[in-house]
Structure 1
């Protein structure tokens, strides 16, 4: 789920960069890039997965 959120954030950042737009003080395409990288890092660390074993919680014996 975090990877999907990261893809959406990267898409918004790309649109802001292509349109040379800014959403106010301190919010730019670079902000969206860094937020997307944070979401990808959390996804790779296993945050938000079902159970501690990466989704294999149903196979407990």
Structure 2
């Protein structure tokens, strides 16, 4: 999940950079930094889905 968020942030950073758009706080540099943080969290294992095994009784 965090890898998808990182990809979106990198895409927004690219669009902002190409269009020379810069809001008051949100700049391409901030978006890239946030994307790198999400990638680091993804590699650390944060946001992974938890697989729960269900045991069925056999009759």
Larger RCO of the pair (alpha carbons < 8 Å, separation 6+): 2
Tell me the TM-score normalised to structure 2 length.
0.80
TM-score for both structures, normalised by structure 1: 0.77
Q: Structure 1 runs of 4+ off > 2 angstroms?
A: none
**Alignment RMSD:** 1.6
Structure 1 unpaired stretches of 5+: none
Larger Rg: 2
Unaligned stretches of 5+ in structure 2? 54-59
